[in-house]
Amino acid sequence: MAILILALAIITSFMQFRISEEEVYERFEKSGIPIEMSEYRVEGRKIRYYQTGKEIQGENPIIVFVHGAPGSSQDYLGFLEDEELRKDFCLISVDRPGYGYSNFGHSMNSIEGQGMILGKLLEKIDPNRKMVLVGHSFGGPVVAAMAAQLPEKVDQIVLLAPALDPKHEKYIGLARFCKIPPIWWLTPIAWKVAADEKTSHVKELEKMDPNWEGIKCQVIHMHGTEDSLVPYQNVGISKERMINAQVEVVSLEGADHFLPWSHFQEIKNVLISLL
């Protein structure tokens, strides 16, 4: 029994999709890369993010990475470690509300609300800096909301397999199943937050309908043609609804959903091209 409990504890810890500040610093110290953890507060919520690369007070463009569900800032640590990106950009990876160490476990289902809270990070940064937002999966509509709310601050957004279209939402039934006791009691916290977001995602995307026209920056939408979680048809929202943006769709033949890991080089090349 003790071994079973220990095994469950280890599995649960792994499935929280976060690593400690000490682990992050140790990882970057071994590589000789300086990194800084910072926090800010908005409406009673604490938001944590990591920063590396060029100084935030400098003149180089800033890239803000926003993860999916479940996930955390650790999803983009590989990008923060990349020498070429650090040479040309200030790189920031943030924990969305409820994930990582941003009030872990306290869900915020509103896409517009998350856009507002993460938008406060952009307002902390020099408004004269070029700003690029990168969002994967659920992070896609969040960075889209940020761009719509703060068009004067956002120059480009890169959408990585973004879940934009309420007509093509999948696995809502599975999320509702996870919320049934006693399954809910055994579900890792990060998955609980993801289930909360998933069960309300269609309604939240429908609320975004008036906002797509508010995006006025360059949009690069990268999507795998064989995405099993967020169907390729989601590119339709970018092409048809973001009528005031300069939209480019990059179709990745045969690719599935996990682009930050499976197509790191392609994403890196796109980011460098933005210079």
> What is the rounded distance in angstroms from the CA atom of residue 184 to the CA atom of residue 177?
9
> What is the rounded distance in angstroms from the CA atom of residue 194 to the CA atom of residue 100?
12
Omega before residue 182 within 30° of 0, cis: yes
The DSSP string of 6-28 is: HHHHHHHHHTT----HHHHHHHH
pTM to 2 decimal places: 0.92
Complete domains list, the chain, with CATH: 2-273 (3.40.50.1820)
In this structure, which amino acid lies at residue 153? K
Structure tokens at 265: 């080089």
pLDDT value at position 7? Answer: 43
pLDDT value at position 262? Answer: 98
Asked if residue 45 lies in contact with residue 58, where contact means CB atoms within 8 angstroms, the answer is no
Asked if residue 109 lies in contact with residue 34, where contact means CB atoms within 8 angstroms, the answer is no
pLDDT value at position 38? Answer: 96
pLDDT value at position 175? Answer: 47
pLDDT value at position 180? Answer: 63
Residue 221, beta-bridge partner list: 159, 249
Supply φ then ψ for residue 15, to 5 degrees. -85, 10
Supply φ then ψ for residue 94, to 5 degrees. -115, 145
Give the count of alpha carbons within 13 A of 44, CB side only.
Answer: 2
Q: Average pLDDT of each block of 10 consecutive residues along the chain (275 residues)?
A: 43 73 96 95 96 82 96 97 96 98 96 97 82 97 98 96 91 56 71 90 95 97 97 97 98 98 98 93
Report the relative pairing of strands 45-53 and 90-94 from DSSP bridges. antiparallel
Omega before residue 141 within 30° of 0, cis: no
Give the count of alpha carbons within 13 A of 274, CB side only.
Answer: 27
Give the count of alpha carbons within 13 A of 173, CB side only.
Answer: 0
SS3 content of the chain, % helix, strand, coil (to 5): 45, 20, 35
